[in-house]
A and B are shown apart, each in its own frame.
Chain A
Amino acid sequence: MAVAAFAAAVLFAGCAQDAPQDTFQPKGPNARTIDDVQRPLFYVAGIVGLIVFAVIGYSIIRFKDRGQDMPEQTHGKTWLEVTLTVIPAVILAGVAIPTVAAVFDLDDKSNECVINVTGQQWWWEYDYSGTCGGVEITQPIVTSGELVIPADTPVLLRITSRDVIHSYWIPALNGKRDAVPGRLQTLRMEADEPGIYTGQCTEFCGLSHARMRQAAVALSTADFQTWVTNQLAAYVAPEAGTLAATGEGTFVNQCSRCHQVNGLVAADGTPVLAEPDLYVVAGAAPNLTNLMTRTAIAGWTFDLLTDACREQLWNASPEEFGSLYLQGVWMNSGPDATKPVCFAEATLRDWLRDPAAMKPNYASPDQVASTGGLTRGMPNLNLTEDQIDQLIAFLLERK
């Protein structure tokens, strides 16, 4: 059964539409290095298993008690023992050599782009600076959830954590690397083609471990340039008198203690700077400057895109992927639309109403008693429905 499952897993891989995190479908050179080690291992294991089961099966049928004489009381044959020790040793030596080679290959740190990746309960932060795949990043970009990288470019992630141990994993592009507080560890990522590659935090990190996800988004160099330019674009305040303008005030009052929106200024003209270290155990909260360029929120768990639009994006060809992705929730909406058709508004609304109901956390007053008031996760701000309308209008313009 399990052997059949093994064999089937190997043989059928690639036929139907497999789960997006299928580890047998590498989409980049690092994952391919792993696959080149992993796939033969499954074949070898499968064959050895079949041989062992054949011998056991034959013995069971052939040597069943049918009233035959007592068997010879043999204690073994040394030559056979030695042979059966040497054969696995040879097979394993054959496996060990490519394994060791792959270990060192994967440790190659040469790159054309370095991105800092920081885990905390229960989301990932990405921090860009310098040059990435030839694209100049003139000011730091801080984003979360989706790791946007140029396709066909070796990218080196420098991974750490602000609280407990997490693990960064995009199966289509590479294996896992733990994010360990106090350590800076590297992992190389490279995607052959534009597309979205999903992942999940894989080191158990507490209450909402299951809802700490991530994705890597690979874009063509031109699209990546567009993405960078957009991320660095100056803040555009909402038009006075609109719902979004009211929302800006609500945001400053309710959200900006923790969440940064770059370029936001208060009524008195002073820059609004988030101070999450005063409110959150990890000392960080997602930067929301370009929230609507991302396709999911809250540890990349809840889609900002409607199911249909998400499917459309995930299944897009490498050629059309970039242009769809860069529209974010405004996908399919046309240039003059006032309301984005792909926006899963109910998700964001529910989240603002009561985050802990969607993603368990430690943010209620009784839960933060032991941490001196610092939260892990977003507290329920008891927003009114009007305030939620305002905030959504404001956030929709963070694109």
Chain B
Amino acid sequence: MTTLELRSGDPSDSLVTPSAALGIFRRPLATTGWKSWVFTVDHKKLGIMYGAVAMFFFLLGGCEALLIRLQLAAPDNTVLSAGLYNEMFTMHATTMVFLFVMPMAAAFANYFLPLQVGARDVAFPRMNALGFWLFLFGGIFLNSSWVLGGAPDGGWFMYSPNSSALFSPSHGVDFWVLGLQITGIASLIGAINLIVTVINMRAPGMTLMRLPVFAWMQLVVQFLLLFAIPVITVALFLLSFQRNFGAAFFDVEQGADPLLWQHLFWIFGHPEVYILILPSFGIISEVIPTFARKPLFGYKFVVFSGAAIGFVGWGVWAHHMFASGLGPVSVAVFSVSTMLIAIPTGVKICNWTLTLWGGKLWFTTAMNFAIGTIVLFTIGGLSGVTHAAAPADTQQTDTYHIVAHFHYVIVGGAVMGLFAGFYYWWPKMFGKTLSERLGTWNFWLMFIGVNLTFGPMHILGMQGQPRRMVVWPDKLTGDGFFNLGFWNRVASVGSFTIATGVLLFVINVFRTARKTEKAPLDPWDARTLEWLTTSPPKEHNFDSIPTVHALDEFFHRKYEEVDAEGGSRLVKVKTAEEVQAELNAHPDEHMHLPSPSYWPILLAFSLPIITYGVIFNLMLSVFGAVILLLAAFGWVLEPSVAGHDEYDPPADSGDSTKELASVG
């Protein structure tokens, strides 16, 4: 469905559109079939596409992880060669960070931010589409390195000078640099888009302090992206120019200091950690109150601690460099600032726990994942404190103790939180509920698997097994309880346990898709605005933009305090259906929705052509640049919406959700 214009009776009331747009500059009109996806600018369709592609990369990165764990299951193992192993852990990390967790969080942000703030779309819909296609093409470009001469092999941190052409002669690092440039543009424009959406497009009455916590956390994340992505962009350009055009930014022989790269990378890289985790903090801050049937404890504290994390997160990057030789003053300062960030993080954990306290807990799969997130993230947070102390970190850094720490944070925290989001929002997105029975198995396999995989890594690290080593020798394993061989095998078994859990999720998705049973309108007795519309939501989200009176607006429309013996009681006075009917009784006039566009996908497509050209032949880059320029012109010249006469008149029946078909 495309431009929707709902009019109430007055036929002369129409949009102003260019009447004689050239053929190719018409906006596409398809409402069904592949064209309706490829040219869409609808935030919900883009959200689903973000999610589907991110899920694909999750499975890919997961397979890479399984290969790594197979290799490490036995001493001096030969599943992977040293070179392939280095490529594998580089791509595992890069894929999981840039092609799974970030875009999956973007999927949720895209789909639910406009709904939660009561908007009809994001502020810049075509840019939103451009962001998705850049992410997809960037991810494909990066992974094409596997078949075009070798994947990047310098680790996801790509320390200089090991990443220079001298020490990493394959094109892998070039693919990494340029691929991340492309996905970086996607993140950056997505950030601007969502910031403007939240700041400018909130429904009446939706003050910032009535914003759902998910929207708040996403807002913080978008600001982090806005400032962090430019830093990595600069670093990537420096490295790119060094590798491809003879610059010498990190060349020691010419007087450069390789620590420059480390600073640039971690000034981006540490905020990046919060970019990964905060969306999931937001998700479980929605899920836990819903299933505890009470508001989030200390909403303001959760919001401000999230913002505090967003600020302090900029002042801790050098804790990744405690062994680099920064000198004791820098090390002491960054050590203390790192401990500081544990305070707002601790506040969040306390508040989630206190939200459970005194609640009426309903243990759905979404709730299980959310509680699992708190538990596992707490372990990751506490082990984080053990290496905030710089002297201890000089023992722990680059060992499996660190691997254990950040996997508890990212898998236990971010990924489990995303799964809570899947189960919670699936009925909203697709109108069908994921199987709770499969979901329970999915949850327990992942929860146990995470502990089985990453729990032993604490032992491995403290027993002195460093990271990024293709083999561990039998002679350094020790005996007894801490035998490294035993715990490495346990971790490998654990990784397959996680994989089984994820497989069940995939099966669940396919089985649910074939199911005909529709989800109830409000399956979880939810609290926020996205539940104040159909499932899946209509293209224009709300027939009538709700006016917001309170935090948890939807909940307060359903429930009221009624007097009862021994004080007042909270009673459900209206069903979701009734609340919705009430709202839809007076649909808005003039709903302006953006029309689809041919240009975002074409513009996005030009970038990998340019980057392939940088690697293989600059003439190809010129060709790509021409496409880019044409696409930019097309973008600017196309009419702002499809012509009014290109559509059938909207149906005047009471069903305002009827889709409008295009005229030929």
Contacts and interface: CB of A to CB of B under 8 A. Distances in A.
Contacts of A44: 385
Contacts of A24: 462
A181 B258 contact: yes
A287 B580 CA distance: 82
Interface string B304-339: 000000000000000000011101100110011001
Contacts of A8: 481
A174 B392 CA distance: 10
Contact of B297 (A16, A65, A76): A76
Given A45-B386, A183-B257, A63 B391 contact: no
B252 interface: yes
Interface stretch (A130-138, A200-208, A221-229, A345-353): A200-208
Interface stretch (B99-107, B108-116, B161-169, B192-200): B161-169
B476 A23 contact: no
Interface stretch (B59-67, B275-283, B452-460): B452-460
Interface stretch (A35-43, A142-150, A335-343): A35-43
Given A104-B328, A204-B86, 10 more contacts: A17-B478, A22-B464, A22-B478, A41-B386, A45-B386, A88-B346, A102-B389, A164-B159, A169-B466, A301-B473
Nearest to A98: B389
Interface in B275-304: 292-301
A100 interface: yes
B459 A9 contact: yes
Interface stretch (B352-360, B435-443, B623-631): B352-360
A331 to B, nearest CB: 17
21 contacts: A17-B478, A18-B479, A18-B482, A23-B395, A23-B464, A56-B356, A64-B363, A76-B298, A76-B300, A84-B346, A84-B347, A102-B389, A171-B395, A178-B324, A182-B258, A202-B399, A206-B168, A207-B86, A209-B468, A209-B469, A210-B472
Interface residues of A, number: 104
B294 A74 contact: yes
| Size bracket of the B interface | 35 or more
A8 to B, nearest CB: 7
A202 B378 contact: no
A177 B323 contact: yes
A49 B358 CA distance: 21
B466 A177 contact: no
A44 to B, nearest CB: 8
A34 B395 CA distance: 8
Interface in B374-394: 374-375, 378-379, 382-383, 385-386, 388-394
A16 B477 CA distance: 12
Contacts of A236: none
A289 interface: no
Across the A-B interface, the 3 shortest Cβ-Cβ residue pairs: A21-B464, A175-B394, A16-B480
B414 interface: no
Contacts of B477: 19
B657 interface: no
Contact of A2 (B346, B455, B483): B455
B439 to A, nearest CB: 17
B489 to A, nearest CB: 15
A165 B360 CA distance: 55
B350 interface: yes
Contacts of B375: 53, 56
B82 A210 contact: yes
B455 A5 contact: yes
A100 B159 contact: no
A201 B340 CA distance: 31
B343 A72 contact: no
B300 to A, nearest CB: 8
Nearest to B294: A71
Contact of A100 (B335, B340, B479): B335
